[in-house]
């Protein structure tokens, strides 16, 4: 029996199906002829998504000058690009909302995922890194392969998540499976036909220390490591986990990383409470 990343991705595709509402909305958002009015009508039939869009539109993430109190107004202000990002974030995370939270620490998993997304977003904006329109989603989804493998390999996944200061998460994943969870994420997102601009950094970032990569992949590499450091204070030093040459390439200094963590710590709880995930707020 094959144990490739694609094998686990195909099994997950059967167990964690995307909702019909998400598929319909994504199809509409990909159509050139879709108007904001049509989109608002479709989203209105799914109150959970509508509420999430309103919550996020009013969050500090977008810093709107006044409260947005209607879905149509939210769509108009945010625009198609941001709405597509939010629909993707909601739809993909919802597919994993019913997993057993007792296999691994799901709160920690989503904390790292959301932190990674926010760190990516912070630096994409503040350092004006090119080709990062979808880097928030790349950060949010980068480790979904772990969830994809829980039902098939619970004990091995639990072991991989029990990493310590002597073995990084990525070392253990390679040691146990011969690939990282991000490799499984890549195959799963391909099966779900997500845009290559989301998948490409996920497919590449773990190789950043060994081969030349575009800046968006380097950014995801840095953010994924920084998110792990933030979730386990004192376990790893930044200097040990993040290659300085990559930071230099991106023009990122230690003070920049500290500021990015302040940014994500301010907003992470709000996002954890908004998406249909087993984050700290949603599980209380």
278, pLDDT greater than 60: no
Last residue of a domain, which of 73, 95, 117?
95
Q: Is 24 exposed, middle or buried (0-12, 13-18, 19+ CB in 10 A)?
A: middle
Q: What pLDDT digit, counting tens, does each position of 167-193 carry?
A: 999 999 999 999 999 999 999 999 999
Has residue 234 been placed in a domain?
A: yes
Do 41 and 166 fall within a single domain? no
In a domain, 158, yes or no: yes
> What is the rounded average pLDDT for all residues in the chain?
87
Does 133 share its domain with 84? no
Tokens for 271?
A: 């996002």
Same domain, 163 and 53: no
How many domains are contained in the chain? Answer: 2
What are the distances in angstroms from CA 71 to CA 18, 79, 86, 98, 242?
23, 12, 13, 27, 41
pLDDT in tens, 205-238: 999 999 899 999 999 999 999 999 999 888 898 8
pLDDT for 281 equals 38
Residues 234-256: b if buried by 16+ CB within 10 A, e if exposed = eebeeeebbbeebbebbebeeeb
Euclidean distance between CA atoms 160 and 205, whole angstroms:
19
**Is there a single domain that holds both residue 175 and residue 220?**
yes
Pick the last residue of a domain from 37, 69, 95.
95
Same domain, 169 and 251: yes
Regarding whether 109 and 54 lie in a shared domain, the answer is no
> Are 74 and 204 contained in the same domain?
no
* Residue 168 and residue 186 share a domain: yes
Residue 247, domain member (yes or no): yes
Domain that holds residue 67: 16-95
Do 188 and 58 belong to one domain?
Answer: no
Q: Is 136's pLDDT higher than 60?
A: yes
Look at residue 60 in the predicted model and tell me its pLDDT: 65
């Amino acid at each position: 029996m094959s144990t490739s990343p694609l094998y686990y991705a195909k099994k997950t595709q059967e167990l964690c199906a995307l909702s019909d509402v998400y598929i319909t909305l994504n199809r509409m958002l990909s159509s050139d002829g879709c108007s904001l009015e049509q989109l608002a009508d479709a989203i209105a039939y799914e109150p959970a998504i509508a509420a999430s869009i309103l919550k996020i539109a009013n969050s500090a993430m977008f810093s709107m000058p006044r409260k947005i109190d209607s879905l149509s107004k939210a769509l108009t202000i945010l625009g198609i690009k941001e709405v597509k990002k939010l629909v993707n974030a909601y739809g993909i995370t919802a597919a994993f909302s019913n997993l057993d939270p007792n296999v691994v620490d799901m709160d920690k998993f989503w904390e790292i995922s959301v932190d990674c997304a926010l760190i990516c977003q912070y630096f994409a904006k503040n350092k004006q890194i090119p080709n990062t329109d979808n880097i928030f989603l790349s950060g949010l989804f980068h480790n979904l392969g772990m969830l994809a493998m829980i039902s098939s390999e619970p004990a091995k996944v639990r072991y991989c998540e029990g990493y310590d200061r002597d073995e990084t998460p990525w070392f253990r994943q390679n040691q146990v499976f011969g690939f990282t969870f991000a490799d499984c994420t890549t195959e799963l997102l391909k099966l779900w036909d997500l845009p290559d601009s989301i998948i490409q950094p996920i497919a590449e970032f773990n190789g950043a220390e060994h081969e030349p990569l575009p800046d968006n992949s380097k950014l995801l590499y840095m953010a994924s490591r920084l998110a792990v450091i933030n979730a386990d204070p004192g376990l790893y030093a930044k200097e040990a986990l993040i290659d300085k040459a990559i930071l230099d390439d991106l023009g990122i200094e230690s003070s920049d990383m500290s500021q990015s963590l302040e940014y994500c710590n301010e907003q992470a709880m709000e996002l954890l409470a908004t998406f249909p995930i087993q984050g700290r707020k949603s599980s209380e």
